[in-house]
C-alpha cells in the first residue's frame, strides 16, 4: 500500500526555488528531507530520479559528499518506479519500488540501512537480508531506525532500538531486518515512524503503537515506553490513516468520518491521549507542529489538465470560442464575457443593465482609450494582474480613475514608480496630478527634486503647463531644492 496520493505544489518548499520552471514541470513525485529541509529527491514523469541539496552524511546518494544546487541523477534508481520513500535524522534514506525492492543509503551508525554493518552508505544499495523474498510495499524511518511493510501485511524493523521502537520486545539494536512477531495474526496496511516510536494500522482500522513515549506520542494515556505493540484509540471509530515524522515526537490519525486526531509533542506540551483537531488531513498536523518544514511522506506532484477557477478565467480571456461580447478599440477586437465583466467591475454592471443600449450590442466601440490600455484593463479583470510599460500605465491610470477601480490605480502607480527616469519624470508627475494619485505625485516630486538639474533640461519640463510648473517650483523651493 502506498500513501503518496496527496497532490502538492512543490513551490511551497523553499529548496525547490533552486529549480527552473522546466525542471519543476518534469516532477511527478517529490520529497524534501534532511535536518534543515535542505535536501530533496524527485522523480520525473519518465521515472528518472534526481537529488540536490546539502548532502549531509552523503544522504543524496551520489557517491560523494559534495553539495549541489544542480540536480544530479541517481542512475541506480532510474526506471525503478519508486512507490514509497522515507528518511531519518542522520539522515538516512530508505525507499521501495513497485517491484517490492528496498534500497537504502546515508547515515548508518546503528545499521539503519539494514546491511549488517555500520559503514556509511554513499550510494543506494538494495536491502537483501530477510527482505529479498518479500515484496515490500511501504517503508518508514525514525530518527535512527527503519521499518518495512510487506505485501502480505508483515512488519520488519532494523537499526536503533534503545526505546523499543522496533517492537521486538527488547531494546537491542538490529543490524538487519527482523520481523515484528508480536503483530503475527494481524494484517498491517500502513506504518509510520516518529523520532523514536512507531505506529501500525491494520486492515480492520485498528491502531498499534510502540517505542519511546516521553511526550505521550504513543497515545496510551501515560509516558511509559513500550517495547512491544499496544493497541490504542480503541474507543474511537475506525482509523483510516496514520502519520508521524522522524523529526517530531508527534503522532496523527484520521478516522473514517474524516476526524483528525493528534497526540504527543504539541508546541512544548505533552498530549498523552489522542486529541481531536480542526484539521482536514494528517499532513496539516505536521505543517502546524513539525520543524523544519519537511515532508513526512513521498508526495505526488500532478501537472494535469485540471484548472482552478482563476486559471480557467485567465485561459478564456480574449477567447472567440466562448465569448459573448467584443470590444473594438483602434480597429482591433477583444473578446470577453459579459458575466465576468459584471461580476468584476461596477462600471460594467451598470452598463449592462437592460435599459442601456450596450446590453443589446455584440460589439462595443471604445474611442477614449488606446488598444493596449483597454486590453490591459480587460485582462486585469480576468487575471488580477497588469503587465504594461510605464508609459501605457499612465493611460491605464486614467481609465482606472474614470471607472473608479481603486486597486487598479494602485497597481498602475506601482508600475509607474518602477519605470520612472529623468526623461519621463515630469510627464509622470503631471499624470499623477491629473489623475489625483497622491502617493504617485509625491514619489515623482521627490524624484524630480533629487535629480533637479537633469530633469529641468528635459523636453517634458518645458512642455509642462504654467500652473503646474509654478506649483512645482513653489513646492520645490519650500523643501530647499534651490539653495546653494
Asked whether the predicted pLDDT for residue 248 surpasses 90, the reply is no
Nearest one of 23, 105, 34, 21 to 295, comparing CA atoms: 34
Mean pLDDT of the chain: 89
- Same domain, yes or no, for 136 and 223? yes
Helix (H, G, I), strand (E, B) or coil at 333: strand
- Please classify residue 24 by burial: count the beta carbons closer than 10 Å to its beta carbon, then call 0-12 exposed, 13-18 middle and 19+ buried: middle
Separation CA 318–CA 302 (nearest Å): 27
Asked whether the predicted pLDDT for residue 480 surpasses 80, the reply is no
pLDDT of residue 355: 59
In a domain, 2, yes or no: no
- Same domain, yes or no, for 287 and 395? no
pLDDT of residue 4: 43
In a domain, 3, yes or no: no
What's the chain's Rg over C-alpha atoms? 31
**Residue 1 — pLDDT band, cuts 50, 70, 90?**
very low
pLDDT in tens, 30-52: 988 877 788 999 999 999 999 99
In a domain, 192, yes or no: yes
Quote the number of domains for the chain.
2
Separation CA 62–CA 60 (nearest Å): 6
- Same domain, yes or no, for 157 and 275? yes
Quote the distance between the C-alpha of residue 127 and its chain's center.
Answer: 32
pLDDT in tens, 329-375: 999 999 999 999 999 999 999 888 865 666 577 899 999 999 999 99
- Same domain, yes or no, for 331 and 238? no
Domain boundary among 300, 324, 359: 300
Q: What is the mean pLDDT of residues 60-89?
A: 93
In a domain, 484, yes or no: no
- Same domain, yes or no, for 270 and 351? no
Separation CA 197–CA 90 (nearest Å): 16
- From residue 216, how far is each of 263, 284, 372 by CA, in Å? 7, 20, 63
pLDDT in tens, 298-327: 777 755 566 778 888 999 999 999 999 999
- Same domain, yes or no, for 52 and 77? yes
pLDDT of residue 127: 95
β 145-150/155-159 pair status = antiparallel
Please calculate the CA angle 15-16-18 and round it to the nearest 5 degrees.
85
Separation CA 459–CA 424 (nearest Å): 9
pLDDT of residue 281: 85
In a domain, 1, yes or no: no
pLDDT of residue 5: 46
pLDDT of residue 357: 65
- Same domain, yes or no, for 176 and 284? yes
The lowest-confidence range among 91-105, 217-231, 233-247 is 233-247
Record the cell numbers describing residue 411, joined without a space.
Answer: 497597481
pLDDT in tens, 270-300: 999 999 999 988 878 877 776 666 666 777 7
In a domain, 157, yes or no: yes
- Same domain, yes or no, for 37 and 146? yes
- Same domain, yes or no, for 328 and 294? no
Sequence-distant (≥ 6) Cβ neighbours of residue 399 within 8 angstroms: 369, 373, 374, 377, 405, 408
> Would you say 348 and 356 are in contact if contact means Cβ atoms under 8 Å apart?
no
- Same domain, yes or no, for 350 and 407? yes
- Same domain, yes or no, for 381 and 284? no
Which domain covers residue 210, as residue numbers? Answer: 10-300
- pTM > 0.85: yes or no: no
In a domain, 111, yes or no: yes
Share of the chain above pLDDT 90, in %: 56
The lowest-confidence range among 69-73, 96-100, 416-420 is 416-420
Asked whether the predicted pLDDT for residue 428 surpasses 70, the reply is yes
* CATH number of the domain bearing residue 377: 3.30.710.10
Domain boundary among 278, 300, 322: 300
Domain boundary among 300, 335, 358: 300
Give the number of C-alpha atoms closer than 13 A to the C-alpha of residue 110, restricted to the C-beta side: 24
pLDDT of residue 3: 45
* CATH number of the domain bearing residue 263: 2.130.10.30
**Residue 2 — pLDDT band, cuts 50, 70, 90?**
very low
In a domain, 222, yes or no: yes
- Same domain, yes or no, for 387 and 276? no
* Length of the chain in terms of residues written: 484
Q: What is the mean pLDDT of residues 153-169?
A: 97
pLDDT in tens, 172-226: 999 999 999 999 989 999 999 999 999 999 998 999 999 999 999 999 999 999 9
Amino acid at each position: 500500500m502506498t500513501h503518496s496520493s496527496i497532490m502538492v505544489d512543490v513551490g511551497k518548499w523553499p529548496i525547490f526555488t533552486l529549480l527552473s520552471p522546466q525542471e519543476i514541470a518534469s516532477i511527478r513525485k517529490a520529497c524534501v528531507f534532511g535536518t534543515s529541509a535542505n535536501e530533496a529527491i524527485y522523480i520525473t514523469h519518465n521515472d528518472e530520479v534526481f537529488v540536490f541539496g546539502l548532502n549531509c552524511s552523503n544522504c543524496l546518494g551520489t557517491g560523494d559528499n559534495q553539495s549541489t544546487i544542480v540536480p544530479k541523477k541517481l542512475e541506480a534508481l532510474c526506471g525503478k518506479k519508486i512507490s514509497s520513500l522515507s528518511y531519518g535524522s542522520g539522515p538516512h534514506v530508505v525507499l521501495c519500488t513497485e517491484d517490492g525492492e528496498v534500497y537504502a543509503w546515508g547515515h548508518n551508525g546503528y545499521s539503519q540501512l539494514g546491511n549488517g554493518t555500520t559503514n556509511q552508505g554513499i550510494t543506494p544499495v538494495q536491502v537483501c537480508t530477510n527482505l529479498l523474498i518479500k515484496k515490500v510495499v511501504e517503508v518508514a524511518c525514525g530518527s535512527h531506525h527503519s521499518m518495512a511493510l510487506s505485501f502480505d501485511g508483515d512488519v520488519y524493523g532494523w537499526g536503533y532500538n534503545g526505546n523499543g521502537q522496533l517492537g521486538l520486545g527488547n531494546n537491542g539494536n538490529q543490524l538487519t531486518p527482523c520481523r515484528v512477531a508480536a503483530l503475527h495474526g494481524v494484517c498491517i496496511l500502513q506504518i509510520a515512524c516518529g523520532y523514536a516510536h512507531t505506529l501500525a494500522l491494520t486492515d480492520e482500522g485498528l491502531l498499534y503503537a510502540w517505542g519511546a513515549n516521553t511526550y505521550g506520542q504513543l497515545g496510551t494515556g501515560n509516558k511509559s515506553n513500550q517495547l512491544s505493540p499496544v493497541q490504542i484509540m480503541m474507543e474511537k471509530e475506525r482509523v483510516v490513516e496514520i502519520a508521524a515524522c522522524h523529526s517530531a515526537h508527534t503522532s496523527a490519525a484520521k478516522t473514517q468520518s474524516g476526524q483528525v486526531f493528534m497526540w504527543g509533542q504539541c508546541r512544548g506540551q505533552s498530549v498523552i491521549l489522542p486529541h481531536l483537531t480542526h484539521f482536514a488531513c494528517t499532513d496539516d498536523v505536521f505543517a502546524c507542529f513539525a520543524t523544519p518544514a519537511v515532508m513526512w511522506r513521498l508526495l505526488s506532484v500532478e501537472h494535469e489538465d485540471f484548472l482552478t477557477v482563476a486559471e480557467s478565467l485567465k485561459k478564456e480571456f480574449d477567447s472567440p470560442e466562448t465569448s459573448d461580447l467584443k470590444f473594438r478599440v483602434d480597429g482591433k477586437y477583444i473578446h470577453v464575457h459579459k458575466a465576468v465583466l459584471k461580476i468584476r467591475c461596477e462600471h460594467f454592471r451598470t452598463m449592462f443593465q437592460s435599459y442601456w443600449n450596450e446590453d443589446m450590442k455584440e460589439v462595443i466601440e471604445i474611442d477614449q482609450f488606446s488598444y493596449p490600455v483597454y486590453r490591459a484593463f480587460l485582462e486585469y479583470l480576468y487575471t488580477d494582474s497588469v503587465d504594461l510599460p510605464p508609459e501605457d500605465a499612465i493611460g491605464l491610470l486614467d481609465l482606472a480613475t474614470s471607472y473608479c477601480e481603486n486597486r487598479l490605480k494602485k497597481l498602475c502607480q506601482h508600475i509607474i514608480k518602477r519605470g520612472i527616469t529623468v526623461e519621463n519624470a515630469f510627464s509622470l508627475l503631471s499624470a499623477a496630478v491629473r489623475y489625483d494619485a497622491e502617493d504617485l505625485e509625491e514619489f515623482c516630486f521627490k524624484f524630480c527634486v533629487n535629480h533637479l538639474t537633469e530633469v529641468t533640461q528635459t523636453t517634458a519640463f518645458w512642455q509642462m503647463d504654467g500652473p503646474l510648473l509654478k506649483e512645482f517650483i513653489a513646492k520645490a523651493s519650500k523643501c530647499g531644492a534651490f539653495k546653494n
